[in-house]
Amino acid sequence: MFLSNTTDHYCQALDQRDVSMLGPAAARQVEHHLSFRDNHFETPLRSLPGLAAELGVASIHIKDEGHRLDLGSFKALGGAYAVIRLVLEEAERRFGRPFGMADFQSPEVRAVASTMTVACATDGNHGRSVAQGAELVGARAAIFVHSGVSDERVAAISRFGAEIVRVQATYDDCVKEAARMAEANGWTIVSDTSWPGYERIPGLVMQGYTALVSEALRQMPEVPTHVFIQSGVGGIAATVAGHLAIKFGNARPIFTVVDPERAACLLETARAGTPVAVAHGMPTIMAMLECYEPSLVAWRVLSRVADGFMTVDEADAVDVMNRLANPVCGDPAIVAGESGGVGLAGLMKAVADPSIKAALSLDRHSRIFLVNTEGATDPGKYEEIVGVAPSDVAARNAAGDHA
């Protein structure tokens, strides 16, 4: 584990661009957008009192993004939102008048969208959101998938009418190929990671994620004292950390970023103090987090307001999937995909290690906030790991709402 700001727990000033991108005003704008979306409802915040007692903390609340917009992950909030914003902006440019979120399916906007192609690379979930956004406004989508993306996840993207471009390489290579092809063909790249000279659109994607944080704060009985969020390129971790820092300043929760041990680009970046790429090794079961280079925008935020960086291994991820599917002490059953429960895995590892527990000031008064970032986005893989179909796990809560 690498500790950053924990000793003094201060809040460095965020870049003004990030305040505008991730603050309460931005979250209200995203929630306004969501009010026009079919199948939108606030995702549940689940309380885990049994597990909290076992771990020796006051409370654990987990935001269950497996129910988001019928896409099964928090990514549903980002890619589609960015696509719709970009199409509305292009309509404003061409027609010379403003278009609001209420207009995103108007004939004028759809006419503009029909001339546009959006593209991205994906591990599965972001591409599904971008493809859905393109379908909603009538744009074309080209989604680049690397060799580790399962056929089931590819099929879930294809159902939105997107063109699938297979790249026989890693996710990071896929990102580069998508950007190259977009430049060559005049497409708009809608990436959830950023690089030098390309920051605004990934910022819009991250802005979309702010809705889950504002929802959770309304749903929680008290502000959390600690947050553990999993990280791929860093987008969701930076969004949650940034929004909480903007809202609460130095009274913000202690924030810990959790990486897969086999793709720990944020941990190694924190150690180096500057963005670094980590070597590709064995694939990780945490497929949605298998990223080897951090997003520059995400790192700009996390370098200022994250307190700790840690890793969990393959067994930790599997254990948490099974633990959430088979809870004890009256906790609700939760369907968490391979990457969904990684923040909880980090918490469990932290409380089991006296040095980490002390460094993060975890005790019986601690109120923990987590995000289940995905449900069973590959149901077959989920059943293979957990031994039961996700629908059967979900049915365990049918008798009542445990949130």
Catalytic site residues? Answer: 75, 123
Q: How far apart are CA 390 and CA 377, in angstroms?
A: 10
Tokens 């290579």 locate to: 173
* Nearby residues of 142 by Cβ (< 8 Å), 6 or more positions away: 117, 118, 119, 162, 163, 165, 178, 181, 182, 187
Contact 128, 157 (CB under 8 A): yes
Residue 21 burial by Cβ neighbours in a 10 Å radius (0-12, 13-18, 19+)? buried
Contact 308, 346 (CB under 8 A): no
334 in helix, strand or coil?
coil
- Beta-bridge partner residues of 122: 145
Token pair listed for 202: 């990934």
Token pair listed for 157: 């993207």
Torsional class of 191: left (φ above 0), alpha (ψ -120 to 50), beta (otherwise): beta
Phi, psi of 46 (to 5 degrees): -95, 135
Tokens 């690379």 locate to: 121
For residue 321, how far is the Cα from the chain centroid?
A: 17
Contact 57, 364 (CB under 8 A): yes
Residue 130 burial by Cβ neighbours in a 10 Å radius (0-12, 13-18, 19+)? buried
Listing DSSP states for 147-209 in one string gives TTS-HHHHHHHHTTTPEEEEESS-HHHHHHHHHHHHHHHTPEE--SS-BTTB-HHHHHHHHHH
In whole angstroms, how far apart are CA 152 and each of 65, 149, 298? 19, 8, 29
